[in-house]
Structure 1
């Protein structure tokens, strides 16, 4: 097999602002800050990876130093140079090393595809689908939709302009009545066939969630993500409603043990990279727990989602998407945009995407000038963390 020696690694932190800040449980959500990774090799090939945050930049760069001279195609060997024994990391150590290496590991898979001249989905077994479904996003946005009718009107516009019939969003202003009223308006405007999924980022107490579920179940809600704070509370909520639930907490054992949630939604780097994500999805399938992909990423991680969703039959539900709201990206032709609910899988080797170096520099400078984007800012309480009433 071809030996591909790693000669360097670059980690570039960036900001990816949204066109308007969205309200979520923690306050204003103005966009995300990511880390773009380039693994350089002695054959001139460069592999691209992406970390879901910027807190692991130093760890990524330290791992890059350790990987100099390593065979980029020996992914297990590279992991052994960077990550302590898995059971220690998961239980007694700082699991951020998993996220740091997971982002690098995506770049190593990109290199494997480039060496083989094949898209990532073929390396993962081949594509069972080439058009990957993603939801549109909705929510209450500063300077945008701030009442039930406005949210419903926005979704109708997305259907008319882009053929969108799959929607997911956050209706988080701390008032359950507003959420219930918005769902009612959306269903009336979109008709019976549109998919509506909700996400509250654990904003509700269990009694309030029971009330909300009781009132929205009439409107055929496909799924509700993290309605309450714990799996145990989700299991209790299950006794009062047939609405399915998902979570960003990737704990299959606990989900199976307590009987909720039904789906896990997460980022590949958080799981440790492509290889571990394949095994994680296999475990989900064996245990009957669904899986779909995260949102708010740059085009590198999104390309990985597209290839994984193409190759994994178990990913049957549409993944999340903030595509329409993202005002920039770091890949040529980005951000991805769905048409008639789907995005095509990139056809080039590896991830099939190419860095736009001018855009990368622009969004890196945005972070240098403004700092990482703050998800926990509430204009009504500057300098303090937001607390919603868990009624």
Structure 2
């Protein structure tokens, strides 16, 4: 069978839920179950391409609308797929809870999110047909391993409802506990840089946490992400101390204009995954000169090819580049790794929530890290395959857990009934 004779015959979308730690953030706290969707595209010659994306109710509506759009296409018809999706999937459909700190929850990005999910599965198929890893389809790997950063969170020891046994990480609400968490994560995964999710406690407490990390890890670059939960004045006041501590200062204050004003008061470069999430915002940032480092995310930027194009744009405008993360499993981690492997100007280690996840949906179990890196696959396609038995287990957890939209605010009110969620809070 010739490549152009191969057609996608079936498209399946399976929502899943997996255990997620009680991680604190600016909007509240993670619920006990994280939601994702697994996409499977079957072809006329018996191949299966896979992808992983968001699993909230609005995303499932959009994915269901997209399923018939891709059937009948060749795995190589990426442009046709994109045109069909943009003509059919409209922004804002589906409702649901949308978080400013999580651009992946924004229904305005429905088309980009669907395109990305279908593109990864189609690239997986292309790689299988051609006998090439996905990174080769993106121009070829420029590194054989992709660096990731330790991603620390303030957290409680266990969830309010106690739906399952507490995780092994324990509580982290003090500088000493943060250091213990970092030591465990660095020891287990070998990470060479460290990021702290802030915006939870007062800036003074979080700066104390960063100082404790600096003392414990004098050679590790440090990052702090308050998720726009600090006012502009608070962010300016914190800048002199943080200039001496941080590799970059991520999204401390809301809005591009606020970040532009802050940039005049700090030496540490500003990074974002919140205020530059579209090309319109990229253009505005280029004129404001607010953000120096962009944390891309193929899930809502429109895919792996769009991420490669975004990297080129960053190079043109003298910006650094890394990657943003949300709660995810190995399929997303491997897609990120292929994209990062093919980007020459990946200037900072990527974010990943992967150490916080205990379950998996791929054959062979969890992906291994070596000295903080994930090895770039050299086998055809994505480099991981779906485990049908595990998929069935995680789908049943989705059916049983009762969560259909992420709601960190409602979850936090189980601990603090008067928690407002108003941002910026400090």
Q: How many residues align?
A: 385
- Measured in 1, the distance between the counterparts of 2:379 and 2:27 equals 39
Question: Which residue is 2:324 aligned to?
Answer: 294
1:58 corresponds to: 61
Counting only pairs closer than 5 Å after superposition, residues 40-51 of structure 1 correspond to structure 2 as 40-51=42-53
Q: Distance in 2 between matches of 1:29 and 1:288?
A: 35
Residue 238 of structure 1, aligned match among 263, 269, 287: 263
Distance 1:211 1:52, change over 3 A: same
- Equivalent residue, structure 2, for 1:196: 222
Give the secondary-structure state (helix, strand or coil) at the position aligned to 2:38: strand
Question: How far apart in 2 are the matches of 1:327 and 1:384?
Answer: 29
Distance 1:380 1:389 in 2: 20
Q: CA deviation at 1:291?
A: 2.1
* SS of equivalent to 1:14: strand
Aligned-partner SS, 2:3? coil
Listed as ranges, the gaps of 5+ residues in structure 2 are 93-106, 158-170
The 5 A counterparts of 1:216-227 are 216-219=242-245, 221-227=246-252
CA contact under 8 A between 1:60 and 1:104: conserved in structure 2? no
Asked if the contact 1:153–1:189 (Cα under 8 Å) also holds between the matched residues in 2, the reply is no
TM-score, normalised to structure 2, is 0.85
Q: Compare 349-358 and 77-86 and name the one that shifted more.
A: 77-86
Q: For residue 314 of structure 2, what is the aligned residue in structure 1?
A: 284
CA distance in 2, matches of 1:363, 1:120: 26
Change (3 A) 1:110 1:211: same
Superposed displacement of residue 382, structure 1? 4.8
Gaps of 5+ in 1: none
Q: CA deviation at 1:172?
A: 3.2
Please point out which of 377, 380, 383 is paired with 1:346: 377
Which consecutive segments of 4 or more residues in structure 1 shift more than 6 A?
A: none
Is the CA contact (8 Å cut-off) linking 1:71 and 1:78 kept in structure 2? no
> Secondary structure in 1 aligned to 2:244?
helix
Aligned residue number for residue 207 of structure 2: 180
Mapped contact 2:242–2:268 kept (Cα < 8 A): no
Instruction: Describe how 1:318-337 pairs up with structure 2 within 5 A.
Output: 318-337=349-368
Alignment-derived partner of residue 166 in structure 1: 193
8 Å contact from structure 1 (residues 330, 355) kept in 2: yes
Q: Distance in 1 between matches of 2:400 and 2:144?
A: 39
Paired with 1:355 and 1:382, the residues of 2 have a C-alpha distance of 41
Alpha-carbon shift at residue 161 of structure 1 (Å): 4.0
Deviation (angstroms), 1:334: 4.2
Please give the secondary structure, in 1, of the residue aligned with 2:50.
Answer: strand
1:132 aligned onto 2:146:
yes
8 Å contact kept, 1:135–1:168: yes
**What TM-score, normalized by structure 1, do the two folds share?**
0.92
Which residue of structure 2 aligns with residue 256 of structure 1? 286
Do residues 268 (structure 1) and 298 (structure 2) align? yes
Q: Show the counterpart of 1:15.
A: 17
Whole-Å separation in 2 of the counterparts to 1:45 and 1:385: 49
The verdict on how the C-alpha distance between 1:257 and 1:142 changes in structure 2, with shifts beyond 3 A counting, is same
SS in 1 for 2:23: strand
Kindly provide the CA deviation profile for residues 36-76 of structure 1, in whole angstroms up to 9, marking residues without a partner as x. Answer: 10011111111112223432212212221122222221111
**Which residue pairs with 1:359 in the alignment?**
390
Give the secondary-structure state (helix, strand or coil) at the position aligned to 1:97: helix
Contact map agreement 1:22 1:29 (CA 8 A) in 2:
yes
TM-superposed CA distance for 1:333, in Å, is 3.2
Aligned-residue CA RMSD in angstroms? 2.3
Deviation at 1:294, TM superposition (A): 2.2
